[in-house]
Structure 1
Amino acid sequence: MKYDFDEIIDRKATFAEKHINLEKLYGTDKVIPLWVADMDFRVAQPIIDAMKERAENGIFGYTVRPDSYYDDVCDFQKRQKNWDIDKKLMSFSSGVMPSICMIIKELTNLKDKIIIQTPVYRPFYNAVKQAGRELLESPLKESDGFFSMDYKDIEEKAKQGAKYLILCSPHNPVGRVWSYDELKKLGDICLRCGITVISDEIHSDLILWGNRHIPFASISEELRKITITCFSATKTFNLAGLQSSIVVFPDEKLKQEFEQKWADFHVECNNCMSIAGTQAAFRYGDEWLEQLIEYIEGNVTFVLEYFYRYIPSIRPVRPEGTYLVWLDCRQMGLSGHELTRFMALKAGVAMSAGTYFGRNGEGFMRMNVACPRAVLEKALAQIRSAIEK
């Protein structure tokens, strides 16, 4: 089936966050929203069909996940990444960030130190600080728009007593898809220093330009034993509203502890629609995903070429994965707050401020390009016009 990613769908009537919170966050709703990391594309038809069929049943009582739920997850991971997962080590959660928050709050100790590699997704900061753990920031190294891990700094943080590291793979916001060698080098440090890795791999199916995502836990048996992996169908297939994710643990004891914490709050179950949607996505979504990747690559190429040609004062970082473009706006000479206001109030485009991702995000913006090409064309023309004025 051929999918139409150029179709413009009005999301305002569906209470979409990227529209509803504009006035609150940007001071105006008269902007093009390119901030929240979800997509403006209709999902794969098999997902719609499966959820329609479930809805037509007409009964939405308490629902138990079937064994086939985890079978579908495992089959998809094997097809897409050649990753063999023991389904006895998999748990359900309502989302990747709820999983990370629960792991940090309930499965770590109060005095534990946790490394994050910045700039990085803001909720990582919040998860560590709100749990009362000590946050250790290891800034990524940047060279001519290319970001890499600072292994020397990570080892220094490990010597300070770090017990955990939250890995963002692929990385949000800089778009890196970490190579096998990069991950192996990081893993060697973690093994040597006794660090457990919490690997956020929610963007792991959104890989561009023939790059390859390597699940951190798949590198070796030694690394599998120190890794907790979090991923989901929701980012891949634009199903964030279904609130469903997967956690893979290194052993059954840790898995049982995690599941018991959710059971204590009676939130250990999927809703019935998320079961139908998630299983359909993992079973039948490959064709849609292949076309999506091609469209996103086209959008990224369009954005990069537009900035290079018409707005040279902003330098976009070419992502290896995700549908997010990290924009270097430092030549504009504006503070993070000034930059956000300029883009929203002068250019009429709402993007995520670089400072949202940490102090070393100052002078950057994150643009979500998972939208119809015509929307991007309009947004970029508005940015160009505002800068020229």
Structure 2
Amino acid sequence: MAVFDFDTVINRENTASVKWEQVKQVFGQEDVLPMWVADMDFNPPHEVAEAIKKRIEHEILGYTFIPDSTGEAIQAWLKKRHNWEIHPAWIAYCTGIVPAISTAIQAFTEPGDKVLLQSPVYHPFFRMVEKNGRVVANAQLKLVDNCFEIDWEQFETRLKEGAKLFLSCNPHNPGGRVWTKEELAKMADLCAQYNCLFLSDEIHSDLVYPPHVHTPVAALGETYRDMTITCVAPTKTFNLAGLKASAVIIPNPELRKKFKDVQAVNGTSALNTFGIVGMEAAYRYGGEWLDALLVYLKENIDTAARFIAERLPQIKVMETEGTYLMWLDCRAFGLSEDELKDRLWKKAKLGVEIGRKFGPGGEGFVRINIACPRETLMEGLSRLEKAFA
């Protein structure tokens, strides 16, 4: 078995890294340790870089189409990793999940329509709904024994009120929940009952820790398949966000045509050459690397949870079932959003996301990205302790 190095600290300066080179713009000072935006500080699978190098050796970078082999690689990956049988013809390609969500909002709703969300949730969900002139219908998640649960009464009420599209996040960002088959089926059944389409953002689906298992909602049966738009990408899984490549899987031909028609209007259906090459190489050859990564990430999660339990017992750590993002309940300190920023960003020089950014239910929480070498993680944890000393 190959040995993968996740311990070496890699200098990411002079690469136009948002995470490392925009800390002053985001946090107000240069010497902040960035543990915020969701990319990893690890080299991706070697085969991805090799595939891109091989392609660039040709030197001519003309117009590129997406070959059948790319769809076949995605098909094989989803079958092997998630036991989901898809057809490559179901795939529409997009430069990212956020553009895909915006396209879906335009394709499947009208201005003024309601779009259902479950806050606290990935903040661009709110932005895409509002920028497209639609209305956020929020069914806030319930916090039960330090775990997010679905508020079924509120969920059904928002559907009764006429929500046309549900934006689901599975695994959940920022909470790290991996929704169960039963939860997914109940949400989908309610959406079907009230004629609401189900968009499932599954960008973190490959980053799930046993005993938890990711289930694509579209894999639960034909009824669910025909009402679902599923967004996947290699970008979180393999640390390839800069390649700007994602796949939107729409089995229903009528829905797929509507989605592609909006892409045609907006001119957004093409991927760049390296996005195509990198996506295919990652899905074809990245499995062994991912298996090793998941072990390392779980060790980081456990290390952070132990550290916080021992040194900062006032902070409750939500169990991270999936993703490499940890959701920390800091409400026991009784600090406002500005006070949290002051403690973390200014005093401790730790760049983390403040929970209010993720909508109602995020107040008093902090999201921290642990996808980094252990040395970086320990430095971040010592700064977290300093913030609340």
Please indicate, yes or no, whether the TM-score normalized by the shorter chain is above 0.5: yes
Residues 271-291 of structure 1: CA distance to partner in whole angstroms, max 9, x if unpaired? Answer: 111111111100000000000
Alpha-carbon distance in 2 for matches of 1:239, 1:199:
21
Runs of 4+ with deviation above 4 angstroms: none
Within 2, Cα distance between the matches of 1:10 and 1:114? 41
Structure 1 residue 110 displacement after superposition: 1.7
Greater shift in the superposed pair: 185-194 or 379-388: 379-388
| Structure 2 residue matching 1:181: 3-state secondary structure | helix
Q: CA deviation at 1:176?
A: 0.2
Which residue in the other structure is 1:156 paired with?
A: 157
- 2: CA distance, partners of 1:384 / 1:375: 14
Match of 1:82 in 2: 83
Deviation at 1:383, TM superposition (A): 2.0
Task: Find the counterpart in structure 1 of residue 23 from structure 2.
Answer: 22
CA distance in 2, matches of 1:135, 1:225: 24
Amino acid at match of 1:198: L
CA distance in 2, matches of 1:316, 1:241: 30
CA-to-aligned-CA distance 1:122-158 (integer Å, 9 cap, x gap): 1000111111111111111111211111111111111
Residue by residue over 1:173-193, the C-alpha shift from the partner in whole angstroms, topping out at 9 and shown as x without a partner, is: 000000111111111211111
Task: Answer with 328-337 or 73-82: which moved more.
Answer: 328-337
Q: Which residue of 2 aligns with 1:146?
A: 147
Instruction: Identify the residue that residue 207 of structure 1 maps to in structure 2.
Output: 208
User: RMSD of aligned C-alpha atoms?
Assistant: 1.1
1:53 has 2:54 as partner: yes
Q: Out of 263-272 and 84-93, give the one that drifted further.
A: 263-272
Give the partner amino acid of 1:195.
Answer: C
What's the TM-score, normalizing by structure 1?
0.97
**AA in 1 matched with 2:343:** F
| Alpha-carbon distance in 1 for matches of 2:266, 2:194 | 34
Q: Normalising by structure 2, what TM-score?
A: 0.97
Partner in structure 2 of residue 118 of structure 1: 119
C-alpha contact 1:88 1:252 (8 A) present in aligned 2: no
Unaligned runs of 5+ in 2: none
Q: Which residue of 1 aligns with 2:108?
A: 107
Compute the displacement of 1:254 (Å).
2.3
Structure 1 counterpart SS, 2:361: helix
Determine helix, strand or coil for the equivalent of 2:118.
Answer: strand
Partner residue, 1:252: 253
Identity of aligned residues (%): 39
User: Which residue matches 2:336?
Assistant: 335
- What whole-Å deviation, never above 9, does each CA across 1:27-69 have from its counterpart, x for those lacking one? 1121110000010000101111111111111111111111111
Preserved contact between residue 354 and residue 366 of structure 1 (Cα < 8 Å): yes
What is the aligned partner in structure 1 of residue 223 from structure 2? 222
Q: Number of matched residues?
A: 388
Q: 1:1-389 residue pairs with structure 2 within 5 A?
A: 1-388=2-389
Q: CA deviation at 1:329?
A: 0.5
Tell me the distance in 2 between the aligned counterparts of 1:20 and 1:258.
Answer: 35
Compare 184-193 and 277-286 and name the one that shifted more. 184-193
Give the letter aligned to residue 219 of structure 1.
L
Conserved in 2, the CA contact under 8 Å of 1:19 and 1:29?
Answer: no
Conservation of the 8 A alpha-carbon contact between 1:197 and 1:226: yes
Asked if the contact 2:75/2:86 (under 8 Å) is kept, the reply is: yes
1:198 is paired with a residue whose SS is strand
Rounded to whole Å, the distance in 2 between the matches of 1:242 and 1:376 is: 26
Unaligned runs of 5+ in 1: none
